[in-house]
Structure 1
Amino acid sequence: MYILLASNNEHKRREIDGILEHLAAAVTILQPRDLGFSFDVVEDGTTFAANALLKAQGLAALIRGELRPGTSLNVPLETVQEKLATLCGDQPPPVLADDSGICVHALENRPGIYSARYGNSPDTPPLDDRGRNALLLQELQNHRNRGAHYVCNAVLLYDADRYLQAQETWHGEIVETPRDGRTGFGYDPVFLLPRHGQTVAEIPQAEKDRISHRAKALRALARAAGWIEATGT
């Protein structure tokens, strides 16, 4: 069964592939890039749930041949439909989307839904992961409370009025100095798991695929969708 992922982010795609492999879910994830296009949705929701649904709805509309306000596409609409018809016939695949971010307790749960845009300014280029981590540590310099949690809201959209949605968290602390490892992306080098004594960037990817906020949210969706047994992994 094909599932179309509403994201151009290759890191996210690889992580979702690893999570679903761990769950033994019999689905194949496709990204827009696999079908020769990319798209963007203006994420103007005020919650993780709203933004996840916006992404899913934006891509689902493209599949139906509609370009919703706030959605941009780099190829003609007909190209998207032709590619999908070749792969999936006349049965469009469900759309999977997620919205995730880090909530830092001393910063009143900022950056939250703005995690990917943290520190952005109209007058300067967007910060990369390293720049966002540096900004976060700078803001926390005078705070003793280093508590934080990740949030992931995942949605599986079948059609406009039928979808599954799950939201999960993953709690930890913010370190004073980034600790890079071989895995992870985003805020993982500064997000410490006290029980492990390591940042998320330092733990094996297979372990992250088992215990992360995204893993927990996708596990809930997979169970609800019938991809795995309700009492399974």
Structure 2
Amino acid sequence: MTTRPRTPVVRRTVAASAGVLLTAVALTATAGGTALADPGPSAPPDFAPSPSPPMEVDQNAPGLMMKDGATLKAPKVLDIRSIIEEQGGAERREDSNSQTKFTLQAEVLFGRNSARLNGEAYARIKDIAEEIDKQGATAVNVFGFTDNLGSYEHGRKLSKDRAAAVHRQLVRELASNVTFNIRGYSEDYPIADNSTEEGRKKNRRVEVSFPRGG
């Protein structure tokens, strides 16, 4: 495997309410290569969280000091997220209660305006495949995104082709059968400001996500 230099890793953990982010031209494929078109949801789907049952609270405990007639709100489980960024933010791994997601800026995988993997891409994708195998995931999302330069239709085709290229390489690396959800979203769902080159660079990306623990 190609060894590549890494900048210091930035680690941070945040807590956010557990939830689901629910078009684009889409494909659903198996590890064997079969792909079927589907209309897709209204937004990029994450895998639904499966939090542990909340701890029961004694509403009559003296320490709560509730007024007469007051009741506790329904317990709420927070989705704890651990984020690791490398290569100055070009690579990002996010682990939550429910899923693992890798985000790679397009420049670390492809040439300019291209959907052909570059020489460094294979090692990066191999690392992701190893994590998929390690966690025993059987369903994987591969989503492509672009910035807002050029036409929307060009961005949709480019983002889908880039997601498909990552999917094909993942299939070669994976030891187990996996069902893939492959989508290209063009400039939809930016994660940064498209009015600056720094922001557009972050928006040109491929995301690979899968449920934790299969």
Q: TM-score range by the shorter chain?
A: under 0.3
Q: Which has the higher contact order (CA 8 A, sep 6+)?
A: 2
Specify which structure has the higher proportion of helix.
1
Larger radius of gyration, structure 1 or 2?
A: 2
TM-score (norm 1): 0.22
